[in-house]
Amino acid sequence: MSTEHRAATNQALFERAQAVIPGGVNSPVRAFRAVGGTPRFIARAQGAYMWDAEGQRYIDYIGSWGPMILGHGHPEVLGAVRKAVEEGFSYGAPTEREIELAEEILKLVPSAEQVRLVSSGTEAAMSAIRLARGATGRAKLVKFEGCYHGHADALLVKAGSGLATFGHPTSAGVPPEVVQHTLVLEYNNVAQLEEAFAEQGDEIACVMIEPIAGNMNFVRASIPFMTRLRELCTHHGALLVLDEVMTGFRVALGGAQSLYARQIPGFKPDLSVFGKVIGGGMPLAAFAGPRAIMSQLAPLGPVYQAGTLSGNPVATACGLATLKLIQRPGFFEALSQRTRELSEGLTGAARQAGVPMAGDCEGGMFGFFFGPELPQNYPAVLATDKDRFNRFFHQMLDAGVYLAPALYEAGFVSAAHTAEDIAATVGAARRALAAG
């Protein structure tokens, strides 16, 4: 891999950062605590590659945790952003581009009629829950163990000790009474889902779920599970909220919900939460749904939500350019093929080395586990070989391949990744797995 001289090392930067930033990072997973070692401080990125402060090049499979579906520095996106910057950073007033981005999102998401733009996935998820509670007049919400919906207080919970029990805070600073209305269930467990609704269904405002969970690596909601979830929400008057911050416009042009709609007749969520790809790398997210529900938001309705930088003109320019480019003919077919080549290459290398590994992918998103089969829930993910993953991560990093620095995170392929990049990655994996 190519190198270039820079004065600062990753270690020196990390030590400097820890003096002024808690843990040396502004988002915990970046600290490499799960895998050990020194985080890489990125100096620049282009296409499918990133370069750290020491000039080391990496094939990037994080893609800013999903947004960089076109790769870094796409010329048409850069052009749109530069033009927007010259026009103004922020106005605190409406712009036509907000309308254009909303129209583009709604064109691709048939389940929604209106959309509200915000600045982060956390903000979008917490706002969707407030809207669901306001629209239903109910307080309780259901989430699933292993799904992450941002760091809003009511969502920072772990499962209780019994079946279908309410959650307990997983973060200091979250009082127990804040999460008393949050019910935590096991992902893909139909029997537990039915029991929860039988006992408390008429009190549940909404169920929030990642349709493909990317925060326990890559775990799909099964068709029977998603079918029953939709049926139970409809029967009990609870809203089904799909968190597509990660999967939206990433696993398919219409998001994960379009994949389920192909297999479940009439399937659609009541609310959808988006982020990452719709901002193209800029801070931008959204929540969307039918007009009857969205009209409950201020200034039309009683559910309050606001944001100084919501619909930021530079972010909307970046997101709009990205959404238009991924709609070009053949884009997702090519991206999906490249991702399958990587996924099958990794599991093939493991099989050749006699190492148990299971992998899965959809669109430009993938995951793999050191175990004999794909996990279906969070406890099964925890049972996979974490030590093997940590060794593999560092072996790949040393070979110039940047995977997510935690067992529990999905990976991302961009349109900028070439067949040669995939081959180089698989070759590095083959050597790493053979080395043990």
- The 10s digit of each residue's pLDDT in 217-272 is 999 999 999 999 999 999 999 999 999 999 999 999 999 999 999 999 999 999 99
Out of 15-24, 146-155, 238-247, 421-430, least confident range: 146-155
Angle 87-106-277 (CA atoms, 0-180°, nearest 5)? 60
What is the C-alpha to C-alpha distance for residues 288 and 419, in angstroms, rounded to an integer?
A: 36
- Residue 167: the pLDDT is 61
Using DSSP, state whether 107 is helix, strand or coil. helix
pTM value is 0.95
Give the residue with greater pLDDT, 304 vs 157: 304
Distance CA 156, CA 347 (A): 33
**Cα–Cα distance for residue pair 427/70, rounded to 1 Å:** 24
Distance CA(231)–CA(221), nearest Å, equals 15
Three-state DSSP state, 264: coil
Q: Measuring CA to CA, which residue among 66, 42, 60, 372 is closest to residue 215? A: 66
How do residues 346-388 score in pLDDT, each as one tens digit? 999 999 999 999 999 999 999 999 999 999 999 999 999 999 9
Q: Does the pLDDT at position 154 exceed 50?
A: yes
- Name the nearest CA neighbour of 189 among 147, 153, 133: 147
d(CA 284, CA 398): 33
How many CB atoms lie under 10 A from the CB of residue 122? 19
Report, as residue numbers or ranges, the catalytic residues.
148, 243, 276
| Interval 303-338: pLDDT, tens | 999 999 999 999 999 999 999 999 999 999 999 999
Q: Which CATH architecture has domain 95-325?
A: 3-Layer(aba) Sandwich (3.40)
Mean pLDDT of 55-62: 98
pLDDT at 178: 85
* Structural domain spans, the chain: 95-325
Instruction: Tell me the pairing of strands 140-144 and 42-46.
Output: unpaired
* Token pair belonging to 117: 């733009």
| pLDDT, averaged across the chain | 95
Mean per-residue pLDDT for 146-157?
90
* pLDDT tens for each residue of 141-150: 999 999 999 9
Percent of the chain with pLDDT over 90: 91
The predicted pLDDT at position 166 comes to 55
Mark out the alpha helices in 214-372 (DSSP H runs): 223-236, 255-263, 291-294, 313-325, 331-353
Question: pLDDT band at residue 74, thresholds of 50, 70 and 90?
Answer: very high
Peptide bond preceding 299 in cis form (omega within 30 of 0): yes
- From 140, 137, 141, 131, select the one nearest 301 (Cα to Cα): 131
User: What is the pLDDT, as a whole number, of residue 7?
Assistant: 65
